[in-house]
Structure 1
């Protein structure tokens, strides 16, 4: 049976959903923006800093579940402007081993919640439970 988890360090979702859903095999993390982070407001508008903060938070959330970014198998990225793709990619790539990148989709979504420049969602393989 899946577990539906809201991280106490993040604002409660203002939509009908959970921050994370965990089953026996995977961790699913809902879209995260810098607007969701208490330290994110200063980064708004700087795509590199927004990417860095969101990726660090996703990493922290995975660590809570005894996982890491090395376990990520799929990422969905929504950018307010696809012109930010190259700058975002330079920071995003720093969080993964070269040539070990998850499957990914990237779309332009001009109306991201909280006036953020990007939103990232991911799915990671869960550590085996013996």
Structure 2
């Protein structure tokens, strides 16, 4: 049976999906964008601030499931502009131990929800 994971410290879903689903010992997260969970505002001033908000949202979801970034085994990063890769990678990397960092792909896309610049989803294992 699957367990729905919901954190009040991450943005509420705005459609027919959940922040994350735990099945057995595996957590599948939905993509997070830079919506501030309290104000509901998009944080898009700089790509660094936007990436940090996405990672903080993901951190809240992981913590609600009893996990940390150390539990993450796979990440997918969707970005609107590959020229932002370096700045994104610096912020993203600050949340992981480089030696135990997860597998990852980064894909440039033509558009993302709410016209944001980045969305990240993860798979984590207890």
TM-score scaled by length of structure 1: 0.85
Distance 1:36 1:109 in 2: 23
- Mark the runs of 5 or more structure 2 residues left unpaired by the alignment: none
Aligned length: 126
Query: Cα offset for 1:105?
Result: 1.2
Native 8 Å contact 1:29 1:122 kept in 2: yes
* Unmatched 5+ stretches in structure 1: none
* Preserved CA contact (<8 Å) 1:45 1:116: no
Q: Could you tell me whether the CA contact under 8 Å between 1:73 and 1:123 is conserved in 2?
A: yes
* 1:39–1:116 distance in 2 versus 1, CA, 3 Å: farther
| Superposed displacement of residue 112, structure 1 | 0.9
Partner of 1:2: 2
Segments of 4+ moved more than 6 angstroms: none
Query: What is the aligned partner in structure 1 of residue 83 from structure 2?
Result: 83
Normalising by structure 2, what TM-score?
A: 0.87
Q: Judge conservation of contact 1:45–1:117 (CA < 8 Å) in 2.
A: no
| RMSD value, Cα | 2.0
SS of the residue 1:43 aligns to: coil
Residue 62 (1) aligns with residue 57 (2): no
In 1, Cα distance between equivalents of 2:69 and 2:3: 20
